[in-house]
Amino acid sequence: MGSLKLQNVKKSFGKVDVLKGIDLEVTDGEFVVFVGPSGCGKSTLLRIIAGLEDLTGGDVRIDGEKVDHVPPAQRGIAMVFQTYALYPHLTVKNNMGLGLKQAGTPAAEIEKRIAASSAMLSLEPYLERRPAELSGGQRQRVAIGRALVREPKLFLFDEPLSNLDAALRVNTRLEIAQLHRRLKATMIYVTHDQVEAMTLADKIVVLNNGQIEQVGGPMELYNSPANEFVASFIGSPRMNFIDGARLGETAKTVGVRPEHLTVDKKKGTWKGTVIHAEHLGADTNLYIDTEKAGLLTVRIFGVYNAEPGATVYATPEPGKTYRFGSDGKVMA
């Protein structure tokens, strides 16, 4: 079991309120991602769950048990950090087994767990190596393996891919997703990268300024954002926002995603001038300065040739625009 319940969790540093009353339920086996901009409180919330930070108010319950005053080592959690935190003088095998050894786990059980975890993470060839002899991706797998051998109720990941290059991030992300499917364990993962959130999560928690903006599945947040902040944070490239007054709309702001705009060189809704084109191979991102809607980003699947200075027309797909009121919330 590995359920989690947060009730009105608050955290203040002096007069600064970092978390302003977080309510959240995570069911057993879920993969939940906390996502939001730097300073939104997501890492602080993870550290409170782990017991590395004291909360100012509220309750943290794991499997129904209140753990606010339970030491981290007794909460049944294992945490994977951004910086790996491996002991440089120990082998991979000893790094993975150190926590179990310190807890008094029998040697035979330690060997059994290390063998199972290293096989799952393809670490068998590296068990006698030290961290300096490993790549960044291999070190991160060791850190995950060290958490795995503890057989925790909750796995906590604090931006574990931030130090990896682009290719390794993709590979390690896939490994974490496969690991979750095999273990069916409860995982809580913090990131500022919405692509990681969209590709890994069963449920995404969007945080902003110490509060939850919206909770939901990846496609729920993409298709039905609750407000302008969520709409701007989920999706890449980010949603276009247009002053409603420019379009004669009653809405304060009109939003349309780059992939929900079509481009034609002869006719369309908004006439504009191409100011830049990003050719990404599978996609082309066009930046168009339109007369009526202002600067728009358009994502086109495939190759689209348009030179800077060319006149084009951008048209939103029917039923694919969003309208936001003066309070930032989506309008019905």
Based on the domain organization, do 49 and 124 belong to the same domain? yes
Q: Based on the domain organization, do 131 and 259 belong to the same domain?
A: no
Question: Is the same domain home to 213 and 260?
Answer: no
Q: Are residues 69 and 27 in the same domain?
A: yes
CATH number at 306 reads: 2.40.50.140
For position 1, what pLDDT does the model report? Answer: 64
Start-to-end Cα distance in the chain:
39
- In the chain, the number of structural domains is 2
Examine residue 162 and state whether it is found in any structural domain, yes or no: yes
Looking at the domain assignment, is residue 331 inside a domain? no
Q: Please give the structure tokens belonging to residue 208.
A: 């902003």
**Which 8-state DSSP code applies to residue 131?**
G
Q: Which of 230, 247, 275 is the last residue of a domain?
A: 230
Q: Looking at the structure, tell me whether residues 29 and 135 fall in a common domain.
A: yes
Instruction: Specify whether 71 is located in the same domain as 138.
Output: yes
- The residue segments making up the domain with residue 96 are 4-230
- Mark whether 314 and 182 lie in a shared domain: no
Average confidence (pLDDT) per 10 residues, the chain, 332 residues: 92 94 96 94 95 95 94 90 87 93 92 91 92 89 90 91 81 87 92 91 96 97 97 94 94 96 96 96 96 96 93 96 96 84
The count of other CB atoms within 10 Å of the CB of residue 124 is 12
CB atoms inside a 10 Å sphere around CB 51? 21
Which CATH number goes with the domain that contains 100? 3.40.50.300
Answer yes or no: do 190 and 50 share one domain.
yes
Q: What is the pLDDT of residue 84?
A: 79
Please name every residue paired with 98 in a beta bridge, in sequence order, or none if there are none. Answer: none
**Chain position carrying tokens 């007794």:** 74
User: Same domain for 182 and 263?
Assistant: no
Q: Is 174 domain-assigned?
A: yes
Q: Kindly state whether residue 332 falls inside one of the protein's structural domains.
A: no
Against a cut of 0.85, is the pTM above it? yes
Residues 17 and 149 grouped into a single domain: yes
Instruction: Say yes or no: 217 and 263 in one domain.
Output: no
CA atoms within 13 Å, Cβ hemisphere of 70:
15
Residue 329 maps to a domain: no
- Per-residue pLDDT at 322: 97
- 141 occurs within a structural domain: yes
pLDDT at position 99, please? 87
**Same domain as 251, residue 213:** no
Q: Does residue 196 belong to any structural domain of this protein? A: yes
Residue at which a domain ends, from 230, 252, 280: 230
End-of-domain residue from the set 195, 230, 265: 230
Give CA separation, 125 vs 40, 96, 174, in Å: 40, 14, 20
In a domain, 330, yes or no: no
